[in-house]
Each structure stands twice: as structure tokens, then as C-alpha cells.
A and B are shown apart, each in its own frame.
Chain A
Amino acid sequence: MTYFSKQKKSALLGLSSLFVLAACNSGSDIPVPPPAPPPPPPPSMVGFEVTVSNLTNAQPLSPVAVIAHQEGYAVFQIGSPATAGLELLAEGGDNTDLLAEADADSNAIASASGSDPIGPGNSETIAIEFLEADLSNARLSTSTMLVNTNDAITGINQLSLSGMSVGDVITQRGVAYDAGTEANTERAAHIPGPAGGGEGFNATRDDRADQVTMHIGVISQDDGLLTSDLTDQHRFDNPVIQVRVERTQ
């Protein structure tokens, strides 16, 4: 999409310089070297800073995926199966394939990734920019894993950016979802975060239903799930993150 916009602009420039050349030639027989075409103006960009804060007690967040997109793209739909990219993020904290899926989607505009996990109480600011021409339909979604779980994710979804002027700020809070791709065993062997150190992604889908829903929360060994390797420290309630979006350009 970005590429298409640029192409269109330079094609128009090419036409107008041809027209100038033809007009000059009609007045004289001496060939005049064509004037150097003016460099195309740099495309007008918009920029946003997305600050993700971890509100939980003891659930680090995996590096955040940030996706600007139009209507028609969604990280997930409640009641539908997670994509393979979201499964990789939700089970292993790896956002690579989710971002690749977004980049391949015709409704996506731009994407960015956080650089590090975000610990409880901490935050990270991630910049994302794209052509101003795309702003009128732009929405923002983010996704990250609560890493001391089997497959809990959180984020904001479909936040409209179109009405934002430079300096405007929108703050939203996000709740925890269950990707529905892995049973919530709460066993260390299935938890990639520091509370488990176990396996992250596994392609087997063995949750009760292969669909994204809200998360019921961590039960923990301290609240009666005797096979759990998680403690009351790993429990959480909604909201689990805050996302502050500022238009900076």
C-alpha cells in the first residue's frame, strides 16, 4: 500500500515533466537539454508513540507487537481460532510470526515491535509511523503475552487513530484473553516465563475449545489447583495493561 502511493506520485511527476519538455521544444529547433526533474517531495508521514505499562503483580509481558491497520484486520476475534502467529505469541512470547502475518495482510499499514519484555510496574514506548495518506482509516492494535501463563495475551484492539492531531493522547486499559490454543495446566513445563522456564510454543491445540475468549485468571496452587506450579503471586485481575497512544508527528 505504501509502495503503491509512492509509485502513483512519481508517475504523475513524470507526466508533467514530459509536458514541460514538449512545450519548450515547440519554440526552438535547438535541442534543449531537459531540466532536471525536481526531486519528489518526501512523503508526508505521521508518527505515534505507544507506551505499554504492565499493571500486574508478577506477570512479565513479552515484547509487544504494535500494528497500525485498516478495518478488516484484527489480531483475533472472540469465538474464532487464533492464527498460527498469535499462537506462537500467546504460548511462547514470540511476536515474529504475528507481525509477519500482519505485514502480509492487505489491510495492514505498518508494524513495530517492542525491544524487551516489560516487567511488572514497568513500561516501554514503541514508535510507529506511516504515510499521512493512510491516517484517515487507521486503527491501532497491540498484543503481548503474560509469560507466567500457558497462553494468556492482552492488548488493545481497533483503536481509531484517524481523529488524532499532533499532541493528542488516548489512554486505554487492556484485559487478559485466553488464546484457546493450550490447556491451562499451570505446569512449569508449559510456562515459558520465569515462573516456569518450560516449553513455550507447541503446535498441538489442546484447550477446551479452539477459540479466543476472555481469560478466567490463574488459579494457582495456593487456591486449590494442586498440580499448578504457579503461586498466588501470579494471579491477576483486569485490567492488566495500560496503553497510552500519543501522536507525535
Chain B
Amino acid sequence: MFPRPIQQAPAPARWLYAVALPVALLLWLFPLLGVALTSLRPASDLAQGNYFGMPSAIAWSNYVEIFRQSPIARYMLNSLWVTVPTVIGSIALSLMAGFALAVYRFPSNLIVFFLFVAGNFVPFQILMVPVRDMTLQLGMYDTWYGLALFHIAFQTGFCTLFMRNFIRALPFELIEAARVEGVAEWRIFWFIVLPLMRPAIAALSVLVFTFIWNDFFWATVLTQGPDTQPITAGLSALNGQWIAQWHLVSAGSILAALPPVLMFFLMQRHFIAGLTLGAVK
């Protein structure tokens, strides 16, 4: 193991480590803690210049207020409306594509695979004008499905890479055996491969959920106004309205961050398995 386990170190070093760990964490999360604290500060504290001291009271009312003053609930729902279909859509498409690329040998297999891989890395701006124009032409501008359809297509690239590598690592004999038995190809996919894909589906679900929930660029390009805008774009709009009302901005920020954070804590193992794909060989 590297570094040497701290338990083998002399006592002073162990003590030092025990102190350094929480201190480092506190410093690391400082911006977050500051905002969390501000979100619970009464507006009067800010007016009196009490930015860092103890809040004079815990103002849960800030959270009530943002719900009352702004369409933040609507923004959150809009986000959910875009995120959930995207997760389902991109995983369904990539399961099939990954299966095709992992199981069959055909001449252009690798070329198709690398098309998906390379598509992942393009800057969004090279897609922006045509995608926006097309979405407008099809009458899907400023709708949740206009946004979700793009996200599904784009996320499919990354998901296919993941699924294909996952299926490749499955024992191929299972498929061979089924073929000898004369099982149809789509049945092999449905009854043999799919049930084994649970960990991959879980990992990608949390990842795609987080990516899409946090997306800001496409939200600004393809939607406008509180009826369809997701929380990221909404928060940015509210930030423009709530000038210097940091207690409200903070409360909104914490609220926007909450769903992916919860998702991460509930599905931590899957999340990290997805992110670190390829980090070990």
C-alpha cells in the first residue's frame, strides 16, 4: 500500500494526521459551508454586515421565501422532466448499441465505435447553431422534449462506450451456448445479456442524471422562461434579479445542488465505478 499506513507511523505523526484530516476537509469545503451558512442567515444579518459571525437566528424562512417569491419549484420540476427521460432514453439506446458493438464482428464495427467515442469530446459550440436551428424548425424550441432529445443523442456516445466495454467483459460462452441452442438474437439480448447489465445501468443512471441536472449550456441555448427552463438556467436568471440578496441566492444554490448530491450519496459505489472507468487496467 502507498503511502505507508499511518498506523505504522510514530504517535506524533498519527496525531498530526488525525488533526490534519478534519482541518483539510473544512478548508476544502469552505465555499460550500459559507454558502450553506448564508442560506440560513436572516436578511437583517446581511444588512448589518454580519457576514461571517454566528447568525443571529437560523432563518429557515429563506427557503420558504424562495419558494414563494420565485418559480424555483417549477424550475426543479422542469429539470426533472428533462433529466429522467434523458436517463431512460440514453441508457436504452446505448444498451442496444453497446450490445451490437460488443457481440458482433462486422467490418465497420470499430469505426462506428470510435465515432461514438470521438463524438463525446467535441466542444458543444460546434453543435450549437445547427442544433438550435433544427430544434426551432421542428417546433421543439423551448420544450422539455426538444432539450431531452438532444441530451439523449449526446449522452448516447459516452454510454455506448461504457456499455460496450462492460458487455465485452461478460463471459462470451453464455452467448455462444445460446446460439448453439438456436436462441434468436433479440432473445439473447433480452434474456441473457440484459439481466447481467444491472451494475452498468445503475452506474450510468446516476452519472447521466448528474450531468443532465447540472447542464447549463444547452438549457440556455434551447429553452427560455420559467415554463421550461431547468434549475441551472433558472438559478442564473434569479441571480440576475436578486442582486445582493445573498441569503436567497445561497438558498437557491443549495436547493439546486441537493438532488445530485443525494443521488451521489445514495449510489456512491455505482457513481465512482462509472467515473473511474478506464482508470485501472
Pair from one complex: no
**What residues of chain A have their CB less than 8 Å away from a CB belonging to chain B?**
none
